[in-house]
Structure 1
Amino acid sequence: MASQPRQIFILTGAGISAESGLGTFRDRGGLWARFDPMKLATPEAFAEDPDTVLDFYNHRRRGVRKAAPNAAHAALARAEAALAARGGRLFLCTQNVDDLHERAGSAAVVHMHGELLKARCTACGTVSERRADILPDDPCPHCGAAALRPDVVWFGEMPKHLDRIDAALAESDLFVAIGTSGAVYPAAGYVREARALGIRTCELNLEPSDNAGAFDEARYGPASTIVPGYLTELGL
């Protein structure tokens, strides 16, 4: 193991939440194998059939509320605190729209694909907490318009916080991708950006991702086992 890193960039994907009972997207049997994303996760689908889109996300929202963080989420929260105590930083960027990182104790989570437990008004743009179902005639708490949608990034939309993410990656000395498919950009390109910057890279996954060959090292197995183990190797 190389010297202990002080600035760690963590990228998490659906695989870290799979053991908490939340489905992945691109794996065999994942959500997009069972449902057509073009009918459920695009602005055009929402405009054409908002009831069906809202029903789909209401079902997912209920699943998130029932789920609990697993050992991988907890290990990242502990590592964040331990690294901060010794003057470093763990930057946690997630592609997930669930709140399991926060419930495990992570203090600063950047959701590049939005958050399922928030709603955004398509009329005024206000984002508000939303744990209950979103119904078509529900009013926006800010402007009163019946124009609420999940505050998640759909296909064809720009991910959030890209400037913050790019800056954090450039400042890191270790990049770790956990439970990602390696198929969704721009997140799938971060490992190559890290390599170009001379940053050490590691993949932690159930099985090799689409871009596994771009990583310096890898650990494969259930996230609840390999994530705590790897962070222990780092002294976290």
Structure 2
Amino acid sequence: MSRTAYIAREQMERITERILTDYGFDPYDKSVRPVPIEEIVEFHYDLQICWEPIDRLDEDGMVMAAIIPERRQIILNETHRDLFDRKIGTYHFTLAHELGHWVLHAAERPHLRTGGRRSEERADESSFVYYCRSSSRKPIEEVQADLFAGCLLMPQPMMARAVKQLAMLGSIRLRHLYGLADCLKVSVSALAVRLDQLRLLHIGRDGDIIKPGTESPTAVRYEQMTLDL
């Protein structure tokens, strides 16, 4: 497989915005609502979502999900089903992450993007598998799939509109961001990273909401999306 080309955030915003508009989800309208990630995966991309125990893929990490492009399957780890059931944000982010692998990386094999498949005898797991694990050290493909997921689930125009609406109510508090995370069906940790990434808001260590340009020089910056486990 060729070396994965790095996609900057600005380009990733354009890629994910095109996906949303092609599906019929307008990130520029007046509403703030969750992105229908299950429907986009299953109906727009014709990918199957299934459940299997897949801890075997990585003995050293916590495997959350995997995608087998040859089979057009996203496999969620049955071992962690309770976690997915309890945390809808983790479930949605994981689906979006695996879709990111399909959009960004399976394109290296064009027949996969056009719906063609190899024979079932050759479509085994060893042929081509990406899997999502909880780890602070990630290869570039995983970092890019995380970025894709954040941009897709929390599109830039909708996030800017949400923050503007919150600001009209007065001072933005941490409870407001928890409410926004619930509205978008994402984890508050992924929301915090996205707001910081877009330079809309920054959450300080003590939970204070800091406006862009007013944070202290020692403030911790978020560099990539994280799964809220």
TM-score after normalising by structure 2:
0.30
- Give the helix-richer structure, 1 or 2: 2
TM-score after normalising by structure 1:
0.29
- Give the strand-richer structure, 1 or 2: 1
